[in-house]
Amino acid sequence: MAFELLTQTIINGLFIGFLFGLAGMGLTLIFGIMKLLNFAHGAMIMFGAYTAFWLFILYSMNPLVAILIGTIVGLVFGVALYRTLVNRLVRAPALASLLALFGVSMILENSMLNLWSPNPRSIPVDYPTLSYGLVTISGSRVLVSIVAIAASVLLLATLRWTYFGRVIRATVQDSRAATLMGVDVNRVYTLGFSIGIALTFLSGGLLALIYPFEPFGGLQYALYSFVVVVLGTLGNPAGCLFAGLIIGLIHSFTGSYWTLNMSPAVAYLILVLTFLFRPGGIMAGRE
Amino acid sequence: MQGIRSSIGLNSLTMSVGFLVLIGIIGLVSDTATTSYLHAMVELMILAYSLNLFTGISGYANFGHVIFYGLGAYTVSVSAVGLNAIGTSLPTPVYVLGAGVFAAVFALVIGFPILRLRGDYFAIATLGINEAVRVTICNTKELGEGRGIYVLGLVPSYDIKTLFIQLLIIAFAVVITTHIVLKTKLGYGLRAIRADEDVAEIMGVNTSKYKILAYALGAFFAGLAGGVVTLQFACSFPEYLLITRSVDMFSAIVIGGTGTLLGPLVGSVIFWIVKDALLINFPYFHLIIFGTALILLILFFPRGIVGLVNKSLAKRGKVLE
């Protein structure tokens, strides 16, 4: 029994960990490129979940197609938001940009409240569940993890091997020098920001497959994402994925052996400890 | 800057205190409904001033300020219940002062690690600690979990006018403290940190000392306000630690003008009136409108109303101090 519980806890932790990692990746990409913390991250995760939910309910789409279209909606939303607001915030002091993005978060959350009511919603799909004795593996979690891993690998490969990725990394290292080398920094910002938002929407859509969601539910996921990106070194997508797994395991172990309610508090404790003892995160100094 | 140096300073302190006296008189002579409306406004004002003491002047985005308000509220209820268990109690002002002191001590303890962080990192850490404390309270049996701790009968019950007077006293204290801070080395040091922390440090400003001092000072006043709210409702709820309240304070100081003496007062009054009017007229959309207004304000009037007034006054050779 004890062994089964342990196995189950580890499996659950890893599955949710990939999702945490993906959710953090959108945040850390934007931070890495433009040194801007997306304070509307939680609201955007929920918005991604609702977008997928609406496509699924109204047009009875396959959930995966709905999530994919939701990701594209996120991309368009990101471009629009960058062009109207975020380009003015890039060089603003931290206080101003955080508050303005908090304003965005307020608008999104209350729009969701009006559009979809405060009731928790979910995407009801039944994927087959695998069981080995007492250990069960839910099909939807496997699916979510596969999509999350695929998206993460795609992003990392793009950053590593394509021209666009090189341009982004150059901008991260020194935006002024990149400009001198002929990089259109404004375009890199636009693309980087909207890809970050698209990843956030994607993680929201995937979240909708395994957990119920509500308009104001974003805050806790945003806080998990903050912990993940800080632990995985702000601005480092690969570290973020690794940190996502750690936080996923911690989340799941707290749930199994203590109480799930305390899981956020444990996560923030880790955040503060990271700040205290390894302020650069686990990947500090490695690139 | 030549114009400002030779300008005549309008006394912000007189204006703030005068305005507060006016609010106080209106609140004390009018009916209960108006008094409680103004009571809530003055409470927000105290919180805005206390946030302004550190965040407003130094530019550090503290998104977890409401924690001090919540801890102040819990200090009163926990000590009242605890003392009742051993068959004793204390006069009310001691409870409220204790709330402020506990909040300040907590700020000193968490301030040492987190004040080393800057910008976005600091904002994440304050938000994280805020939620960690709230979640812990919600899951601790001794702290009443989600239900809160009731102190009905353990502390004297007051009518709204008496509570209003208590808040007014705290409000006067925080206005005068802000004035003193702005006029002394602490205020200059914090403003130097806002302009450029590295340069400030090189020039010999003891940045870490000033930061923690202002952080604890702000926490003290927020704790006092939290102490009074427990007296008002005879209960302390975990809802007192919700981040939405931090946003209210932030909006108030941004509307008024961050880091100024008059800003939090003007900002809280406008915020309270506008928010209330929006809530009544557009119950479903008021926060959407408010979010939009906040964004526009930050983009086009980053220095708030005081900054706007100063701009027009500067042409006539005057300036708000």
> Residues of B with CB below 8 A from A276's CB?
113
CA-nearest residue to A96 within chain B is B298
Q: Confirm or reject contact between B254 and chain A (CB < 8 A).
A: yes
| Secondary structure (3-state) at A137 | strand
CA-nearest residue to B252 within chain A is A99
Q: Compare CB distances from A102 to B138, B247, B258 and report the shortest one's residue.
A: B247
Pick one of 3.30.70, 1.10.3470, 4.10.51, 3.10.350 as the CATH number of A2-277. Answer: 1.10.3470
pLDDT at A268 over 70: yes
Question: From residue A94, how far is each of A33, A35, A206, B33, B259 by CA, in Å?
Answer: 15, 9, 31, 39, 15
Per-residue pLDDT at A287: 46
Q: How many whole angstroms separate alpha carbon B135 and alpha carbon A112?
A: 25
The domain segmentation of chain B, as residue ranges, is 2-320
Residue range B32-42, pLDDT digits in tens? 999 999 999 99
> Residues of B with CB below 8 A from A41's CB?
none
**Backbone dihedral angles phi then psi of residue B318, each to the nearest 5 degrees:** -125, 165
> Residues of B with CB below 8 A from A30's CB?
none
Q: How far is A20 from chain B (nearest CA, A)?
A: 16
Residue range B265-300, pLDDT digits in tens? 999 999 999 988 998 998 888 889 989 988 998 888
Per-residue pLDDT at A260: 83
The tokens for B310 are: 């100063």
* Mean predicted confidence (pLDDT) in A18-32: 92
Residue A121 gets which letter from DSSP? B
pLDDT band at B10 (very low <50, low <70, confident <90, very high): low
pLDDT at A140 over 70: yes
> Residues of B with CB below 8 A from A99's CB?
61, 250, 254, 294, 298
The verdict on a CB contact (< 8 Å) between B298 and A230 is no
CB burial of A84-113 (b: ≥16 within 10 Å; e: otherwise) equals ebbebbbebebbbbbbbbbbbbbbbbbbbb
pLDDT band at A131 (very low <50, low <70, confident <90, very high): confident
The verdict on a CB contact (< 8 Å) between B258 and A114 is no
Per-residue pLDDT at A198: 96
Q: Helix axis angle, B304-315 relative to B263-281, nearest 10°?
A: 120
The domain segmentation of chain A, as residue ranges, is 2-277
Q: Average pLDDT, whole number, for chain A? A: 89
pLDDT band at A280 (very low <50, low <70, confident <90, very high): confident
pLDDT at A217 over 80: yes
> Residues of B with CB below 8 A from A114's CB?
284-285, 288
pLDDT band at A284 (very low <50, low <70, confident <90, very high): low
Interface of chain A toward chain B, CB-CB under 8 angstroms: 31, 35, 37, 39, 85, 88, 92-96, 98-100, 102-107, 109-111, 113-114, 219-220, 223, 226-227, 230, 234, 259, 261-262, 264-265, 268-269, 271-272, 275-276, 279
> Residues of B with CB below 8 A from A268's CB?
128-129, 131-132, 135
Q: Which residue of A95, A101, A258 to mutate against B (max B Cβ within 10 Å)?
A: A95
Q: How many whole angstroms separate alpha carbon A69 and alpha carbon A205?
A: 10
> Residues of A with CB below 8 A from B298's CB?
92, 96, 99-100, 103
CB burial of A260-283 (b: ≥16 within 10 Å; e: otherwise) equals eebbbbbbbbbbbebbeeeeebbb
Q: Average pLDDT, whole number, for chain B? A: 89
Q: Could you tell me which residues are beta bridge partners of residue A121? A: A213
Contact predicate B129/A272, CB 8 Å = yes
Residue range B187-209, pLDDT digits in tens? 999 999 998 899 999 998 899 99
Three-state DSSP string of chain B: CHHHHCCEEECHHHHHHHHHHHHHHHHHHCCHHHHHHHHHHHHHHHHHHHHHHHHHHHCCCCCCCHHHHHHHHHHHHHHHHHHHHCCCCCCHHHHHHHHHHHHHHHHHHHHHHHCCCCHHHHHHHHHHHHHHHHHHHHCCHHHCHHHCEECECCECCCCHHHHHHHHHHHHHHHHHHHHHHHHCHHHHHHHHHHHCHHHHHHCCCCHHHHHHHHHHHHHHHHHHHHHHHHHHHCEECHHHHCHHHHHHHHHHHHHHCCCCCCHHHHHHHHHHHHHHHHHHHCCCCHHHHHHHHHHHHHHHCCCHHHHHHHHHHHHCCEEEC
Q: How far is A124 from chain B (nearest CA, A)?
A: 28
Per-residue pLDDT at A1: 67
The verdict on a CB contact (< 8 Å) between B113 and A275 is yes
